[in-house]
Amino acid sequence: MSAKSAPRPAPVAAPNKQAVPASTTALYKGKVASAIAMVTPRKAPAPAHHASHHNHKNSSSSMNKSATKKLENGVTREDGRYALPSTSVIALPKGYRPSSDEEYMNPQHLAYFRNKLRDWRDQLVEESRQTMDNLREEVRDVGDEAERATRETENSLELRTRDRYRKLISKIDKALRRIEEGSYGFCEETDEEIGVDRLDARPIATLSLDAQERREHLQKQMGD
């Protein structure tokens, strides 16, 4: 009888591993990459930022230069309007008068109105001085009662005239300052041009003709 061979051990089954779909693996890797990208800060390239800052600085500098421009004799121009310092000397042709065909309130216009205002001011100061001299003389020369009453009435009128001169001189000084600041000739309410003809007739005007009429109409309504 032949010998029986020993029985072979049964093969051990390998643990059953569930296969992971390729799409799930790709999705997982994508999420990990996104998370890393969010955590890691990004720095803008330094040269580009420096160039942008440099361009911005140059642009601001150009704007400032175009806003205010210095001309001859100390005259400045800002936002299209001229300013004439009190020390600036501008020679005008003999018999010169501003024209509406010229650039409005150019240096020649300002020089013309400055001369006109200064001459008017000197005239008012001289007349005011003469008024005070007359009053002093009349105080020393006292006549009878009737003459004294007449002189008191005249003196009262002269004092009112002197007070009116004082107010006009104050307005002239303000107009001269507007010439230095670059706002002369423009309406203080609407910022419109007052006009050379109106200023030639009344160089201390601060309102355009329309604005002046509106103000007078309003004052009349309030008075009524």
Would the pLDDT of 224 be above 80? no
Taking only the tens place, the pLDDT of each residue in 93-138 is 999 999 999 999 999 999 999 999 999 999 999 988 888 877 777 6
Only one residue has tokens 């604005």, namely: 211
Q: What are phi and psi of 11, to 5 degrees?
A: -65, 135
Would the pLDDT of 218 be above 80? yes
Question: Between 24 and 190, whose confidence is greater?
Answer: 190
CA–CA separation, 172 and 117 (whole Å): 6
CA–CA separation, 191 and 182 (whole Å): 12
Domain annotation for the chain: domains and CATH numbers:
72-223 (1.20.120.910)
Is this model's pTM higher than 0.85 or not?
A: no
Q: What is the side-by-side order of every strand in the sheet holding 76-78?
A: 68-70, 76-78, 81-83
Give the DSSP per-residue string, 57-99.
Answer: HHHHHHHHHHHEEE-GGG-EEETTEEE--TT------TT----
Would the pLDDT of 2 be above 50? no
Tell me the residue type at 94: K
Report the mean per-residue pLDDT for the chain.
77
> What is the pLDDT at residue 60?
45
> What is the pLDDT at residue 143?
62
Taking only the tens place, the pLDDT of each residue in 129-164 is 888 877 777 655 556 677 777 777 777 888 888 899
Q: What are phi and psi of 192, to 5 degrees?
A: -85, 165
Would the pLDDT of 49 be above 60? no
Would the pLDDT of 24 be above 90? no
What are 68's two structure tokens?
Answer: 């205010």
